[in-house]
């Protein structure tokens, strides 16, 4: 079998190792490691899971088990440059959250959890974003988009956005 | 009544209020220095116990008492986990504390770690709070630089590290043992208790889990004193020896159909009506409230007629709600269909059940399927009895599940059907004139996004 090129960069591994002294065992690094890889790649493909497990001294199944529990880390293909979480929980729903989600998916021609063909935008339904004072709201990368209407949201999600964390 | 001057929210609106300089200028960290010089850990435990502080994360358990459950003379390590998973729909007060006054939270954590003899504290922060993440990390860095964190804090023998640990968008990580499992790198399956975390928690060591707002209260008790704290709120009911009272200020989150949604600080025990009218500018668009969630969606529903219920720890239970919960008040106006409300609630819990206990996993998903069907015009009156049966049988209270998520899923179902049964019946009869009376089993409809 030909060895596949490594997905985890030295930098990612260094970032993971930098957190190791915080925890008494390496399994606790699972979520931080998944976040580090996800922040860099916008997804965590299965091979990255195998490599994370290798770095942490775990079975790949242990890392994969944790990963799948959260349904947060995509595995098939990367998320868009902008990952938008549209809140559908009660305070937002009372102010049009469901309609917002439907509108945005329709306008961008994708289903919930889908990514536009140009790889720019992923739209996902989210539960309460903890910003009910600004309902309906969207978390787009690190930006909280407050008091959205279908029109303002559509315009906001066309903008490029940094990803700091 | 004297207008109440915010204490926990003192820094809101203050320019650069999140900085250590601003926090110090307001008297912050002075109490910590005094404590480290003059008090033993047990004195801090006694102070918090005497204040009557009850946890702000939802369960309302006495904070000082919880600390005393830790084993005495344990060789360590003892861990402190700060619950910043804040995911209960309607709730956002922890976010405001972390963003606008992170040092108040950190001082509370240092004091609590001193009291519990923890030398490591993890803040488990939900993923969806990038701004809180940055503000907290900056504040932690400032606190290290100022000598409030790290080795031998302010020349004492006490050392503490605080680490931020990020979640990944799962409500169940707010349940304290789910949080612990998640921190350990596993799926966030809540543990069977006992053993309670105080005996066997994070990394199998004695652990205290406390909420962010609880930490802010600890900082204020240290600054302003036990008497100050006990002068606020609702005293213990002398006729009920089991009522520990509801002392102190509280951050109420107001959202939904009000003119001015927001986080408002008042003494514990304000009524929902006062909160809506005096702080929220009334129900929006001049409408009336149909129902109000008293403390996050898990707590169930109050009707308009029940809005004069005081929102202290004992209040919501008196009108059949689960409790005060997170004190997140969500107003639902008269134009909203109660069917839509319950559908939203069931969708949330079906999505968030961790799947470990059959009554919760099946009950939440089955109730959602029924609500989907009712909404699609295929409801039967019999469904209301089935829903009520699910509501009555899943949860820790009936004894069928490991954690309280299932009780929180059950309560909106029970309250909605009990308090608004007529509306459900009318809806079902109108939308399903041919079949509302059928009692045969029905094949479930396909549903999207309820995994
Ligand atoms: C399903 C579920 C979700 C919870 N979510 C949170 C939460 O997001 N934040 C929180 O502080 N407590 C939450 N709790 C309560 C915690 O289990 C725990 O009681 C609390 O963090 C203790 O802190 P306190 O005593 O300071 O309130 C949740 C409980 C359950 C059953
Ligand atoms: S009650 Fe529900 S959420 Fe809690 S442990 Fe059981 S299945 Fe999981
Ligand atoms: S319900 Fe949408 S942010 Fe809370």
Nearest CB to A91: which of B89, B130, B166? B89
Using the predicted structure, report yes or no on whether residue B448 has a pLDDT greater than 90.
no
Residue A64 forms part of a structural domain: yes
**Judgement on whether residues B119 and B29 belong to the same structural domain of the protein:** yes
* Structural domain of B191: 20-231
* Structural domain of A64: 10-69
Six token digits for residue B447? 């549903």
**Judgement on whether residues B137 and B168 belong to the same structural domain of the protein:** yes
**Judgement on whether residues B119 and B257 belong to the same structural domain of the protein:** no
Closest by alpha carbon to A85, among B328, B87, B14? Answer: B87
Cα–chain center distance at B165 = 19
> pLDDT tens across A82-127, in order?
999 999 999 999 999 999 999 999 999 999 999 999 999 999 999 9
Q: Are strands A121-126 and B328-333 parallel, antiparallel or unpaired?
A: unpaired
Domain total in chain A: 2
Under the banding of pLDDT at 50, 70 and 90, the label for residue B3 is confident
Residue B380 forms part of a structural domain: yes
**Judgement on whether residues A33 and A60 belong to the same structural domain of the protein:** yes
pTM (2 d.p.): 0.96
**Judgement on whether residues B317 and B357 belong to the same structural domain of the protein:** no
CATH number of the domain to which B69 belongs: 3.40.50.11540
By the CB < 8 Å criterion, does B94 face chain A? yes
Local structure of residue A80 (DSSP, 8 states): P
**Judgement on whether residues A30 and A63 belong to the same structural domain of the protein:** yes
Whole-number pLDDT of residue A4: 74
Whole-number pLDDT of residue A163: 76
Cβ separation B126–A130 shorter than 8 A: yes
Taking the C-alpha atoms of residue A84 and residue A156, their distance in angstroms, rounded to an integer, is 10
CA geometry: angle B415, B416, B422, nearest 5 deg: 125
Single residue among A43, A69, A95 that ends a domain in this structure: A69
**Judgement on whether residues B359 and B326 belong to the same structural domain of the protein:** no
CATH number of the domain to which A47 belongs: 1.10.10
Whole-number pLDDT of residue B433: 97
Residue A122 forms part of a structural domain: yes
Average pLDDT for B228-257: 96
**Judgement on whether residues A29 and A92 belong to the same structural domain of the protein:** no
**Judgement on whether residues A65 and A94 belong to the same structural domain of the protein:** no
Taking the C-alpha atoms of residue B270 and residue B372, their distance in angstroms, rounded to an integer, is 36
Whole-number pLDDT of residue A3: 66
- Best interface-test mutation with A: which of B76, B185, B258, B364 has the largest number of A CBs within 10 A? B185
Cα–chain center distance at B187 = 21
How remote is the CA of residue A94 from the centroid of ligand 3, in Å? 10
Domain total in chain B: 3
Which of chain A's residues have a Cβ under 8 Å away from the Cβ of B354?
A: 69
Six token digits for residue B172? 């169940």
Taking the C-alpha atoms of residue B326 and residue B310, their distance in angstroms, rounded to an integer, is 14
**Judgement on whether residues B298 and B378 belong to the same structural domain of the protein:** no
> pLDDT tens across B296-330, in order?
999 999 999 999 999 999 999 999 999 999 999 99
Average pLDDT for B242-252: 96
**Judgement on whether residues A58 and A88 belong to the same structural domain of the protein:** no
Would the ipTM clear 0.85, i.e. be above it? yes
Residue A25 forms part of a structural domain: yes
**Judgement on whether residues A63 and A123 belong to the same structural domain of the protein:** no
CATH number of the domain to which A144 belongs: 3.40.30.10
> pLDDT tens across B146-201, in order?
999 999 999 999 999 999 999 999 999 999 999 999 999 999 999 999 999 999 99
> pLDDT tens across B121-160, in order?
999 999 999 999 999 999 999 999 999 999 999 999 999 9
**Judgement on whether residues A88 and A53 belong to the same structural domain of the protein:** no
Single residue among A21, A43, A69 that ends a domain in this structure: A69
**Judgement on whether residues B61 and B204 belong to the same structural domain of the protein:** yes
Q: How far is A77 from chain B (nearest CA, A)?
A: 18
**Judgement on whether residues B161 and B32 belong to the same structural domain of the protein:** yes
């Amino acid at each position: 079998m030909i060895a596949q090129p490594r997905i985890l960069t030295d930098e990612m591994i260094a970032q993971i190792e930098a957190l190791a002294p915080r925890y008494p065992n390496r399994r606790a690094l699972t979520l931080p490691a998944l976040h580090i890889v996800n922040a860099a790649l916008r997804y965590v493909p299965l091979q990255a899971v195998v490599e994370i497990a290798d770095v942490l001294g775990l079975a790949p199944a242990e890392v994969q088990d944790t990963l799948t529990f959260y349904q947060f880390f995509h595995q098939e293909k990367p998320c868009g440059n902008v990952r938008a979480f549209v809140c559908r929980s009660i305070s937002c729903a009372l102010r049009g959250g469901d309609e917002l989600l439907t509108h945005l998916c329709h306008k961008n021609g994708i289903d919930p959890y889908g990514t536009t063909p140009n790889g720019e935008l992923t739209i996902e339904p989210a539960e309460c974003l903890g910003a009910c004072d600004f309902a309906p709201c969207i978390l787009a990368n690190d930006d909280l988009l407050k008091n959205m209407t279908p029109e303002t949201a559509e315009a906001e999600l066309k903008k490029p956005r940094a990803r700091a964390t | 009544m004297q207008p109440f001057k915010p204490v926990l929210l003192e820094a809101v609106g203050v320019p650069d209020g999140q900085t250590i300089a601003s926090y110090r200028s307001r008297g912050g960290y002075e109490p910590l220095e005094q404590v480290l010089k003059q008090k033993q850990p047990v004195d801090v435990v006694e102070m918090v116990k005497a204040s009557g502080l009850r946890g702000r994360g939802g369960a309302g358990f006495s904070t000082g008492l919880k600390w005393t459950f830790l084993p005495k003379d344990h060789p360590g390590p003892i861990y402190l986990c700060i619950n910043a998973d804040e995911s209960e729909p309607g709730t956002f007060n922890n976010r405001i504390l972390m963003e606008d006054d992170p040092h108040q939270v950190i001082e509370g954590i240092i004091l609590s770690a001193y009291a519990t003899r923890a030398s490591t504290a993890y803040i488990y922060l939900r993923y969806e709070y990038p701004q809180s993440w940055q503000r907290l990390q900056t504040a932690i860095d400032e606190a290290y630089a100022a000598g409030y964190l790290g080795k031998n804090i302010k020349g004492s023998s006490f050392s503490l590290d605080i680490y931020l640990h990020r979640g990944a968008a799962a409500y169940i990580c707010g349940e304290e043992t789910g949080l612990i499992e998640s921190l350990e790198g596993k799926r966030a399956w809540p543990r069977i208790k006992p053993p309670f975390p105080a005996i066997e928690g994070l990394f199998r060591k004695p652990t205290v889990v406390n909420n962010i707002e609880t930490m802010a209260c600890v900082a204020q008790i240290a600054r302003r004193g036990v008497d100050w704290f006990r002068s606020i709120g609702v005293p213990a009911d002398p006729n009920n020896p089991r009522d520990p009272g509801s002392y102190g200020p509280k951050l109420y989150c107001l959202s939904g159909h009000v003119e001015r949604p927001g986080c408002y600080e008042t003494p514990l025990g304000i009524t929902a009506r006062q909160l809506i009218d005096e702080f929220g500018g009334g129900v929006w668009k001049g409408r009336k409230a149909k129902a109000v969630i008293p403390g996050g969606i898990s707590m169930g529903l109050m009707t308009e007629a029940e809005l004069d219920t005081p929102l202290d720890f004992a209040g919501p239970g008196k009108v059949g709600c689960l409790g005060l919960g997170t004190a997140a008040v969500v107003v639902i106006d008269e134009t909203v269909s109660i069917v839509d409300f319950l559908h939203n609630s069931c969708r949330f819990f079906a999505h968030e059940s961790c799947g470990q206990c059959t009554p919760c996993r099946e009950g939440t998903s089955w109730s959602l399927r029924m609500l989907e069907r009712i909404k699609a015009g295929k409801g039967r009156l019999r469904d209301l009895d089935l829903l009520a049966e699910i509501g009555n049988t899943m949860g820790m209270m009936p004894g069928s599940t490991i954690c309280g998520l299932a009780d929180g899923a059950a309560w909106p179902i029970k309250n909605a059907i009990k308090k608004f049964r007529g509306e459900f019946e009318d809806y079902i009869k109108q939308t399903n004139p041919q079949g509302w009376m059928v009692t045969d089993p029905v094949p479930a409809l396909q549903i999207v996004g309820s995994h």
